[in-house]
Every structure is written in structure tokens, then in C-alpha cells.
């Protein structure tokens, strides 16, 4: 038998997971990859179910599929029918489709409803070594468990429903090494914003990113999810982190975690899921965690970011003429002056939530800053837990009272103001400090101006009324 050179070389984590899921390989065709878990929500699935009906096809594996409602759901008065008839129709359509095709659904009002990327991990359905897809680009979140997880379009949703597979071309691999100790007040969100500013919104295109190094190992699962979540903002469809004891401890005893002998078999397998020492990445980049500081975005794409301690850049400072033009347009849209210190920027709304930073640890971190303080004048703060379960947990810990006493609004779970598909939107010219993932023009509402920040910066900003970190309090 002829041994291919690839067999002798070490493999990266992404390559190992890929190899474990190849159903079919044929020269000149994409690999056919098996999908272990398919997550559904109301926005990107209706046309896929329609396609199945038109072709008279069934869902191959309802037992590997789960649906929840998140993008359109209101965060107030959830006991009443959804006011927007178009949103209501989209959610009703998901419910009908789930019923018709025998798919488990967690609807508004259910304790397991919430943002799809918060729900999967909390149910223990997200586990190391899996392939996970969803019609949502932030599916990369699940990579934090050492799973190969990525967003897909509606045609691919239909493909997975019908076949439980996807034809895919194997991506290249990029290692992002982050060693050293994070300074106090610097979080996972600051790491990922700094990475995106460094490699740009297209830097990860065509790659799976693997985050490595001592600073990553030291992060909690919540922090790792924040980092993997925003891989797509660097252009990468997937980002992942090798599973370790932190991962195993998080998964253990979750509702769908393996039990007994299955647990032992699973952990034995999961321990093999790391890049070999002699594995070769197509690209490697490194960051020193000790040099990082609280990071924010000033522009209209997530790559336009800088340390909070700095000033709004001059477009002329950029070398690439394309970036000069993009910076000029961004400053005009954002209503900012070059040279203005970031900490002088006045904010109207603070949004704490989203699949990036809507987990319990994020709420705890913000509450710690807000405790015993009062909200700045003329500022509103929305606190939107990532799932109904996160909300219940926060209430059990008394965090809701901290937020309410501070002067923030304590809302029901969902995607909310991250993308403003429900009534939670910015108005024209309104400026937010947001723990979400995208600062695109109009993302949080037409004409709205978004600064992406960590939960700590969001909280400190809500106290002072201008972009701030807890160290400024």
C-alpha cells in the first residue's frame, strides 16, 4: 500500500475532526462531511423546510436536530402574542415545521429557549470532536469545545436536513498563539477584538482558526466561547480551541452529557483532540496577552478597533488607500472626529447580551462593576440574558436586583439589540456601547452607531456615560 505523505505528518485539531467525519472522498469533488448536530432557528430555516416539502423529502435525523426561537423574539411581554405580524408568522412557521418533521423545539416561554449558541452548550449537546452547523454565522461559538462548528446558508440547512451531511472543501488552518498573562480588567472580548484588528475582517477567510497558548488555556468556557464566536468577524467560518479539563468539567453532568461508561469512552476520545506537536499550520500568528488592554471598535466593521486608552484615528494614518476611504466613511457615519479621545465619546445606550457576551459569567462580571452604583444620566442600559436558563440562574444569584437597582432594564432572553430584528433597536444617530459582535452600519437599528466592547467596559460606560473601563471608576 502506498503511504501518502500526509499520513506521516502530524495533524492539526481541525484536520483530525475533519478526517473523523468524512463520509465520502472522491477526486475532484468536495468531501462529504457528516454533521453531528444541526441547530435551527426561525430566520434561516423556513425556505429550507419548503424545499423539503417541494421535493417530497424527509428530515433524515430529527434526533440530531434541535430548534429554538431567538432572532425575532421580543424581550418584553412575552406572555402576549408577538406584536409584529411578520415576526409572528416566522416563529409560527418554525413551530409548524418542527411539528410536521418531528423536531424538538424550545419555544418562547420554555426554560430552554434562548440564543441557539447559548442553548446548545447549556444542554450539553455541544461536545468536543463534533461537527456542528446552524444557519447562523456565529455557530463558530461551539468551537470553544474543540468542535468543528460553522455557519451555513439556507440551501445548506436544507441539505443537512435531507442528508445529515454537507459537501465541503477542507479549509486551511491558522494557529493564533496567545501566551502570557492577561492584565487585570482585560477579558476574552478584548483578545478577540485585538485579533480582528490585527488580521482584519478578511484575514481568516478560507481558514479554520485554532486559538492556542497559555492565555487561552487560562480562560473559562464562557471566555473561550466569546473568542470562538467572533472568528467569523475575522472572516473565518470556524474557530476552535482544543478541549482540556476545563472543557470536560463544563460538559460533565449537563443534561445530554455522556453517562457512566460512555463518559469514560468520550473523555478518552476527547483527550486525543489536540494538534500534534509536529502539525504544520498554513499560517501562524502570535499575540502577547500581557500587552493587551481593554479594546473597543470606533468604525463600522469589527476590524476597525483600538485600545480604549487611545484616540479616534486619522484616516490619513492608514497606508492602504482603500482603508483610508473606509475610515473616512466610518468616521462620518459614526459622527466622530479624528484625534478625539475614545474616553470622551458619550454613549446613549448600553447593551449587555448576545451570543458573544450573554452568558452567566458575562452578567456576573458586569454586575460586579455596577453593584452599589447608579446609571449615568440620560443613558439606558438593556441587560438581555442569552437564554431563559441564564436569566433564571442570574435571578437565583440576585443579579437581576443589582441591574434593576443600578437603573438598567432586565429583559427576557434572545438576540435582541445585537441585530434589532425585534423591537430592541437604536434610533437614527443613537450611540451604543454593545457587548455584541457586529458594528456594521445600521446593524442595531437604522442610523444607529455601535461601539463593540467587553461586559466590563459596557458596565463602566453605563456608570460614567462615556466609553470607560472599570479602572476609570
Partner 1 sequence: MEKFISHTGTAVPLRRSNVDTDQIIPAVYLKRVTKSGFEDGLFAAWRNDPEFVLNKPEYAKATILVAGADFGTGSSREHAVWALQNYGFKAVISSRFADIFRGNSQKGGLLTVVLPQEQVEEIWEAIEKNPATEVTVDLEAKNVRVGEKSYSFEIDDYTRWRLMEGLDDIGLTLKNINDVSAYEEKRAIFKPKTLPAKI
- For the CB of residue 304, give the shortest distance to partner 1 in the complex, in Å: 9
**184 by DSSP, 3-state: which?**
coil
Question: Given the complex with partner 1, which of 405 and 441 has the nearer CB atom?
Answer: 441
- Determine which helix (DSSP H) or strand (DSSP E) holds 33, and give its type and residue range: strand 31-34
Whose Cβ is closer to partner 1: residue 221's or residue 292's?
221
∠ CA 126-412-139, rounded to 5°: 30
Report the DSSP pairing between strands 305-307 and 409-410: unpaired
Query: Which is closer to partner 1, CB of 97 or CB of 226?
Result: 97
The CA radius of gyration of the chain, in Å to the nearest whole number, is 22
Considering only CA atoms, which of 295, 138, 298 is closest in space to residue 228? 138
Question: Nearer to partner 1 by C-beta: 370 or 415?
Answer: 415
Q: How far is the CB of 130 from partner 1 (least distance, A)?
A: 7
Cβ proximity to partner 1, 165 vs 466, nearer residue: 165
Q: Which is nearer to partner 1, 180 or 447 (CB)?
A: 447
Answer whether 419's CB lies under 8 Å from 75's CB. Answer: no
Q: How far apart are CA 51 and CA 162, in angstroms?
A: 10
Least distance to partner 1 from the beta carbon of 378, Å? 26
What's the rounded Cα separation, in Å, for the pair 396 and 7?
Answer: 52
185 burial type by CB count under 10 A (0-12 exposed, 13-18 middle, 19+ buried) = middle
Smallest distance, partner 1 to C-beta of residue 103, A? 8
Write down the least CB distance from residue 414 to partner 1, Å. Answer: 13
Cβ neighbour number for residue 153 with a 10 Å cutoff? 13
Q: Which residues contact 212 (CB under 8 A, 6 or more apart)?
A: 175, 176, 177, 178, 241, 242, 275
Give min distance, CB of 245 to partner 1, in A: 18
> CA separation (Å) from 193 to 365, 459, 468?
18, 18, 16
Least separation in angstroms between residue 405's CB and partner 1 is: 32
**Residue 468 CB, nearest distance to partner 1 (Å)?**
27
Q: Which is nearer to partner 1, 94 or 289 (CB)?
A: 94
State which residue, 390 or 419, has the beta carbon closest to partner 1: 419
Cβ closest to partner 1, residue 168 vs residue 367: 168
Any idea what DSSP says for residue 195? H
**φ and ψ of 321, to 5 deg:** -60, -30
Q: Residue 308 in contact with residue 292, Cβ under 8 Å?
A: no
Least distance CB 36 / partner 1 (angstroms): 6
- For 358-379, the DSSP string reads -SHHHHHHHHHHHTT--PPTT-
Amino acid at each position: 500500500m502506498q503511504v501518502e505523505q500526509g499520513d506521516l505528518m502530524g495533524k492539526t485539531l481541525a484536520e483530525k475532526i475533519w478526517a473523523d467525519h468524512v463520509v465520502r472522498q472522491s477526486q475532484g469533488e468536495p468531501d462529504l462531511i457528516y454533521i453531528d448536530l444541526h441547530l435551527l432557528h426561525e430566520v434561516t430555516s423556513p425556505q429550507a423546510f419548503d424545499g423539503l416539502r417541494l421535493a417530497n423529502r424527509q428530515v433524515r435525523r430529527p434526533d440530531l436536530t434541535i430548534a429554538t426561537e431567538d432572532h425575532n423574539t421580543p424581550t418584553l411581554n412575552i406572555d402576549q402574542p408577538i406584536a409584529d405580524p411578520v415576526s409572528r408568522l416566522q416563529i409560527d412557521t418554525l413551530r409548524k415545521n418542527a411539528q410536521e418533521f418531528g423536531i424538538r423545539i424550545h419555544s418562547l416561554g420554555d426554560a430552554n429557549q434562548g440564543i441557539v449558541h447559548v442553548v446548545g452548550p447549556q444542554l450539553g449537546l455541544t461536545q468536543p470532536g463534533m461537527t456542528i452547523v446552524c444557519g447562523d454565522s456565529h455557530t463558530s461559538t461551539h468551537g470553544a469545545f474543540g468542535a468543528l462548528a460553522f455557519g451555513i446558508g439556507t440551501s445548506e440547512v436544507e441539505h443537512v436536513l435531507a442528508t445529515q451531511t454537507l459537501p465541503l472543501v477542507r479549509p486551511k488552518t491558522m494557529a493564533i498563539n496567545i501566551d502570557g498573562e492577561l492584565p487585570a480588567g482585560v477579558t476574552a472580548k478584548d483578545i478577540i477584538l485585538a485579533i480582528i484588528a490585527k488580521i482584519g475582517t478578511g484575514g481568516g477567510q478560507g481558514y479554520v482558526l485554532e486559538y492556542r497558548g497559555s492565555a487561552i488555556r487560562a480562560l473559562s468556557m464562557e471566555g473561550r466561547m466569546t473568542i470562538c464566536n467572533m472568528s467569523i468577524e475575522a472572516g473565518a467560518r470556524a474557530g476552535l480551541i482544543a478541549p482540556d479539563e476545563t472543557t470536560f468539567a463544563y460538559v460533565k453532568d449537563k443534561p445530554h452529557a455522556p453517562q457512566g461508561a460512555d463518559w469514560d469512552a468520550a473523555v478518552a476520545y476527547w483527550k486525543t483532540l489536540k494538534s500534534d506537536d509536529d502539525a504544520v499550520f498554513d499560517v501562524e500568528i502570535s499575540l502577547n496577552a500581557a500587552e493587551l488592554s481593554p479594546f473597543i471598535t470606533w468604525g463600522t466593521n469589527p476590524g476597525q478597533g483600538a485600545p480604549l486608552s487611545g484616540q479616534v484615528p486619522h484616516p490619513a494614518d492608514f497606508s492602504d488607500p482603500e482603508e483610508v476611504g473606509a475610515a473616512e466613511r466610518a468616521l462620518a457615519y459614526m459622527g466622530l472626529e479624528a484625534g478625539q479621545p475614545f474616553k470622551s465619546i458619550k454613549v446613549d445606550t448600553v447593551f449587555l447580551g448576545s451570543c458573544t457576551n450573554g452568558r452567566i459569567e458575562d452578567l456576573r462580571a458586569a454586575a460586579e462593576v455596577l453593584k452599589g452604583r447608579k446609571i449615568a444620566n440620560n443613558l439606558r442600559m438593556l441587560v438581555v440574558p442569552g437564554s431563559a436558563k441564564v436569566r433564571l440562574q442570574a435571578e437565583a444569584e440576585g443579579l437581576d436586583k443589582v441591574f434593576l437597582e443600578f437603573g438598567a432594564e432586565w429583559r427576557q432572553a434572545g438576540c435582541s439589540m445585537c441585530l434589532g430584528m425585534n423591537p430592541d433597536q437604536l434610533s437614527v444617530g443613537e450611540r451604543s456601547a454593545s457587548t455584541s459582535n457586529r458594528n456594521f452600519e445600521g446593524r442595531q437599528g437604522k442610523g444607529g452607531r455601535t461601539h463593540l466592547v467587553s461586559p466590563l467596559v459596557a458596565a463602566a460606560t453605563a456608570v460614567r456615560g462615556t466609553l470607560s473601563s472599570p479602572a476609570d471608576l
